[in-house]
Amino acid sequence: MKVTGSLQEKNGIYQMIVRVPDINGNLKQKSKSTRIKIQGKNKRETTANKHKADLMLAEWMETLSQTESYGADKDLIEAIEDWLAMKKKQIRPNSYESYLNTYEVHVKPYFEKKKLKLGDVTARVVMQYVRTKEDAGLSRKSIRKHLVILNGVFTEAIAMGELNYNPCANITVKDNRDDHFEGTAYDIATAKRLLEAVKGDPIEPAVYLGLFLGLRRSEVVGLRWKDVDMENGIVHIRNTVVRFATTSEQEKTKSKASKRDLFMPNALKEFLQTVWDRQEEERKLVGRAYSDTEHICQWADGTVFEPSYVSHRFAKLLKKNDLPHIRFHDLRHTAGSMLVNQGHTIKQVQEFLGHEKASTTLDIYTHVSMEGKKDTADVLDLLLA
């Protein structure tokens, strides 16, 4: 339903009468004087007065259509929670839980005390929220995630015909240079030290998969034996295990590009064969109590690892063996960096890592080593000296 209006006479003055639909579709009437006389000194002035009044009415209706259409009276917090309930059915559980955490920690505490309706939220209100979060020390990358929620709420309201205006539509939050993230990569010698240090540790298979295949933690923990073609030496990345508030296993990857097939290096293939043999022995020893999850990264009773266990155990392993501190995810950076340093193209590394865009590979996951920089200098020296 749209905002409608008309002009009426009151004491010889044009009076604007506007009807605005509320959240239930019922019309709410508003009135306002134009202070323009109906009768002028002559016919020409009378016509001009009518034209001025029509313009005032049109402008007022346009303003109200943007700020007071029938969804505008809906409580903002209620609208956000309705949107979250809708998204829960549409997105992966960990993505929903991420939205929910952002809402409960940041968005709700800020807006709840303001008691705003949908129609009260303007671009200025949204920018005040952004500045408040910047002042609190949040990165702009994090704040953009907050805006995804707010933008989603208003986009949905427009789609349902409840609003005609999205206050987030023209707001962009660009990264500061300090927000740009670069992962840490091991050099070849340090990577070999890590492989020695992890021998016999429960997360040894996880480290091998992260380093030799550049897998994400969720992909490492989610990899099953049925995804491994030992005969042809191919690993099919199809499954993930993630945790936010709950642990969830899904026959699904982060993105379409993340669903990929990778050839195994011989060292990895030989190592996985030893893992298979060991798990077969464990299956026999545990007997009926064995949990047949068929995961490569699992406990002796077949129970799959929690993703957080891999990260925590990895950090302790590095500290114990006096290795430089990196995140488990940085094994992925290490694999990508080694490939680039050995002359592989960005496109090849993009497909290996399962990135949707080559720019992601170029901006984040490649680290040119000092050896590579020296090689560049040596080539120029040879050519130009």
Q: Could you tell me if 323 and 367 lie in one domain?
A: yes
Same domain, 38 and 99: no
| pLDDT tens-place string over residues 21-64 | 765 566 778 899 999 999 999 999 999 999 999 999 998 887 77
Query: Do residues 46 and 85 both lie within one domain?
Result: no
The 3 state secondary structure assigned to 190-241 is: HHHHHHHHCCCCCCHHHHHHHHHHCCCHHHHHHCEHHHEECCCCEEEECCEE
Are 27 and 143 members of one domain? no
Q: What is the pLDDT of residue 256?
A: 61
Q: Enter the DSSP assignment of 298.
A: B
What are the start-end ranges of the H helices in 72-139? 76-88, 93-102, 108-112, 123-135
**pLDDT tens digit sequence for 62-113:** 777 765 555 667 889 999 999 999 998 888 777 888 899 899 999 999 999 9
Last-in-domain residue among 172, 202, 229: 172
Q: pTM of this prediction?
A: 0.58
In tens, the pLDDT along 228-256 reads: 999 999 999 888 876 544 445 555 555 56
Closest by CA to 252, choosing from 365, 95, 360, 358, is 95
CB 74 within 8 Å of CB 12:
no
- Looking at 12, 31, 66, the residue that finishes a domain is 66
For 178-231, the pLDDT digits (tens) are 555 556 889 999 999 999 999 999 999 999 999 999 898 889 999 999 999 999
Res. 159 pLDDT band, cuts 50 70 90: confident
Q: How far apart are CA 353 and CA 361, in angstroms?
A: 8
Residues 44, 121, single domain; the answer is: no
Poorest-confidence range of 9-13, 35-39, 205-209, 258-262? 258-262
Whether the CA torsion 372, 334, 330, 134 is positive or negative: it is positive
Q: Compute the mean pLDDT over every residue in the chain, rounded to the nearest whole number.
A: 84
- Same structural domain for residues 314 and 206? yes
Q: Are residues 164 and 23 part of one domain? A: no
Q: Indicate the DSSP class of residue 312.
A: H
179, part of any domain: no
Instruction: Provide the pLDDT for residue 183.
Output: 62
Tens-place pLDDT, residues 122-143: 899 999 999 999 899 888 888 9
Q: Are residues 152 and 257 in the same domain?
A: no
pLDDT of residue 360: 66
Per DSSP, what are the bridge partners of residue 4? 19
pLDDT of residue 1: 54
> What was the pLDDT predicted at 15?
95
Q: Could you read off the pLDDT of 320-367 as tens digits, one per residue?
A: 999 999 999 999 888 888 887 777 777 887 888 887 777 666 666 544
| Residue 128 pLDDT | 93
Q: Give phi and psi for 150, each to the nearest 5.
A: -60, -45
Give per-residue pLDDT as tens, 273-320.
999 999 999 999 999 899 888 899 999 999 999 888 999 999 999 999
**Domain span holding position 52:** 4-66
What span, in angstroms and rounded, lies between the C-alpha atoms of 302 and 282? 8
Of the candidates 14, 47, 66, which is a domain's last residue?
A: 66
- Provide the residue count of the chain: 385
**Residue 29 confidence (pLDDT):** 86
pLDDT of residue 244: 47
pLDDT of residue 177: 53
Is 383 within the bounds of a domain? no
